Structure 1
């Protein structure tokens, strides 16, 4: 059995064999699950170098130019072409 000691701030160092078994690195997230018997299971939840989860569509604000491009009759490609043929 591997043990570690809690500090006065309830912190502990995860012992090296546990870090190796779970492939843990600084910044990684750990997930704890408490069973009915009081046993705690610790698993490697997410690596620090994993990209964050994609934001949902509701979290992405509309860009200020979205309204401009979606305005009826706005065709920037055509107006640019017209400018080239004027000369």
Structure 2
């Protein structure tokens, strides 16, 4: 599989490889160069590296059961004099 590097040095990992390594957006990956000079890509999760802690807000994101209206929210803000 061939991909093109952007001017920022970024490449897209082809979908079959992402699927094989179970990579999802935000996954940590590890690059290494083997003795033959080939670049090897590992999922950091499978390479034994410690993954980052989950975002503490992920568990509650989208769970609000209060349907705020813009007017109600604006009423909570202090009035600011416009000069």
Range into which the TM-score falls when normalised by the shorter chain? 0.5 to 0.7
**Residue of structure 2 in register with 1:71 after alignment:** none
Structure 1 unaligned runs (5+)?
53-87
Higher helix share: 1
| Structure whose alpha-carbon radius of gyration is higher | 1
Counterparts of 2:45 and 2:23 in 1: how far apart (Å)? Answer: 9
Q: What are the within-5 Å matches in structure 2 for residues 30-49 of structure 1? A: 30-46=29-45
**Deviation, structure 1 residue 36:** 2.1
Secondary structure of the 1:31 match is: strand
Distance 1:45 1:17, change over 3 A: same
TM-score by length of 1: 0.50
TM-score by length of 2: 0.52
How many corresponding residue pairs? 49
**Deviation, structure 1 residue 46:** 2.8
Structure 2 unaligned runs (5+)?
54-83
**Residue of structure 2 in register with 1:18 after alignment:** 17
